[in-house]
Structures are given as C-alpha cells and as structure tokens.
C-alpha cells in the first residue's frame, strides 16, 4: 500500500473535507463517518458541515436508514426523524448482566446492534428486535467493532483478560454463526478496545491503536489464524523525510483508498508539539 498526502487537493474541492479537517484539528472525539453525515454522538452535521441537529445527550453510535436516524446508548436504541425529533425509544435486548450497546451497523432495513458480548438485529419495518446472538461461549472476548461484508456481519473481538478469545466472528443476517477465526497474537499483536474497521471490498482495514492494519479476503475465507499486514501511514515533510501519522478513531473509504484524521509530532522553536489534520491515502 502506497501512502500519499492528498490533503490540499482534497480540501480545495470539498467544503465537507474542509469541515472534516477542522474537526481533526480540534481533535473532536468519537467521530463517526456516515457520509454525507458526520456525528460525534452529540451533533449531527450534513454534507457541507452544517449542523442538522444537536442531541440532548451524547450517544455511542449512529445509523441512518431512509429518512430516519438511530442513535445508540448503553441500554437503548433511539429513533429520530430528519429534523432530530424523537420518534421512539427501544430497550436493547439483554444478553447478560453486563451487556451494553457499543456500535451500530446497517444492512437494508436492518439496524445491527453490537453489544459488549454479542449482536442483535432491529427490523426498522417492524420497529422490533428480531434476533439476538451471544458471544458468551467465546470466553473473555469483548466486542470492539464490526462491518458488513456482502450479506454477512463480521465482528472483531479483543481480549477482556489474559487468555481470552481474540479474533473475528462471522454471522449471517439471521444471527447464525458461520465462522470463528482466531487472531494470531504472536505475529499480529493485541487489538485495541477502541479499534475501528471497514471492509474495502478486497481487505478488512483496521485502525488498531493508530496503526492501519489489514487482513486480505483470502485469509478471511480460510481457516487459519489471522495475521495482519501494516498499511503505512506517513507523509513527507518539508525536508522530504517520512513523518509517521497516528490515525485517530474512525475513518472512511474513498475511490482510491481511505481518509481519516492523522496525528503527528513536529518541532516548533525547539519545542516538540503535536498537530492533526485530515489525510487521504491510496492503496
């Protein structure tokens, strides 16, 4: 994967990119990209960075289905219209005593809820939860993030304690477990509990503690332990030297690669400082 700095070109043509860059520079936390929408759990912004509405509290994740938005708290799924008016509240199904909501995915009319210890599906045409899948038998595995790969739900689990299950679980759209693949901890290291991932069509791309890693489709189709490869995220500074970027939180896919907030360290009047900007990388 070859990385290249496209920031100036990207921003000059896109008002939304300029807005996203301002969020990066302010280091706004908990950003999720649902383009053309962007949210930090409290605010929902539109295509040009305009504020569409502001929630009265901060939510963990968001999903967009048709003209409606769904926001996730630890215990509820909140349905809102395009103006931000609340339509319904739905209590999350209980998988265990400590089962809390964590992230939302969508597929057609389904809102997929990722819990700490499992997955549930909410049918927006019926306004009800239709199935629950527990990861309770995968000892100590804690939900980190998930993504849709075609018609399957792929979730990433990190270790809740030493010796716990770490890896990827694949589910059908009806909640049937289709495959469990362990993470090769010796060769690939641990998974950060705040990791984010997206499917590019050819590889599973993961922001793991600031490092962009990926698993190719061939590995996901196999049965062996998963070994990640590193996607270098660096830019060239004014002296033509490589400068590594720590990627921050969520990212989004582009026609040629991906974009996200990159944090860097620089020297200013003999003092080390940190900055952050929106960067784009090509595969």
The C-alpha angle with vertex 59 and arms to 58 and 65, in degrees rounded to 5, equals: 130
Alpha-carbon dihedral angle through residues 213, 216, 217, 222, given to the nearest 10 degrees? -100
pTM of the predicted protein model: 0.89
The answer to whether 229 and 174 are in contact (CB under 8 A) is no
User: Looking at residue 116, what is its pLDDT?
Assistant: 87
User: Looking at residue 275, what is its pLDDT?
Assistant: 84
Closest CA to 44 of 91, 88, 80, 87: 80
Q: How far apart are the two ends of the chain, measured CA to CA in Å?
A: 5
DSSP label at residue 92:
P
Our measurement of the distance from residue 205's CA atom to the centroid of its chain's CA atoms, rounded to an integer in Å, reads 10
Residue ranges per structural domain of the chain = 59-134, 137-231
For residue 105, report the phi and psi dihedrals to the nearest 5 degrees: -125, 165
Cα(250)–Cα(169) distance, integer angstroms: 20
The answer to whether 154 and 144 are in contact (CB under 8 A) is no
pLDDT in tens, the chain (283 residues): 333 333 333 434 578 889 999 999 999 989 999 999 999 999 999 998 999 999 999 999 999 999 999 999 999 999 999 999 999 999 999 776 556 889 999 999 999 999 988 999 999 999 999 999 988 888 778 899 999 999 999 999 998 777 788 899 999 999 999 999 998 877 778 899 999 999 999 999 999 999 999 999 999 988 888 888 888 787 766 667 777 889 999 999 998 889 999 998 877 777 888 888 898 888 7
The answer to whether 22 and 278 are in contact (CB under 8 A) is no
Q: What is the topology classification, in CATH, of domain 59-134?
A: Thrombin, subunit H (2.40.10)
């Amino acid at each position: 994967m070859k990385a290249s700095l496209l920031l100036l070109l990207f921003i000059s043509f896109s008002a939304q990119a300029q807005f996203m860059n301002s969020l990066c520079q302010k280091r706004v936390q908990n950003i999720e990209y649902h383009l053309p929408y962007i949210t930090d759990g409290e605010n929902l912004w539109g295509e040009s960075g305009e504020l569409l509405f502001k929630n009265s509290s901060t939510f963990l994740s968001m999903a967009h289905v048709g003209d409606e938005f769904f926001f996730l708290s630890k215990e509820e799924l909140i349905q809102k219209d395009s103006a931000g008016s609340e339509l319904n509240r739905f209590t999350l199904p209980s998988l265990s005593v400590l089962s809390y909501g964590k992230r939302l995915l969508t597929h057609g009319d389904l809102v997929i809820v990722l819990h700490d210890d499992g997955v549930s599906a909410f049918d927006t045409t019926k306004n009800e939860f239709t199935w629950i899948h527990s990861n309770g038998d995968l000892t100590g595995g804690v939900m980190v993030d998930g993504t849709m790969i075609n018609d399957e739900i792929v979730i990433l689990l990190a270790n809740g304690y030493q010796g716990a299950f770490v890896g990827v679980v694949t589910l059908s759209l009806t909640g049937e477990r289709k495959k469990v693949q362990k993470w090769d901890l010796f060769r690939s290291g641990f998974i950060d509990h705040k990791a984010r991932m997206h499917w590019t069509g050819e590889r599973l791309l993961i922001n793991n503690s600031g490092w962009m890693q990926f698993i190719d489709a061939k590995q996901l189709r196999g049965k062996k332990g998963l070994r990640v490869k590193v996607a270098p995220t660096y830019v060239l500074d004014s002296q033509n030297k490589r400068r590594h970027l720590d990627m921050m939180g969520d990212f989004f896919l582009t026609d040629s690669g991906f974009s996200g907030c990159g944090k860097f360290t620089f020297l200013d009047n003999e003092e080390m400082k940190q900055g952050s900007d929106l960067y784009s990388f090509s595969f």
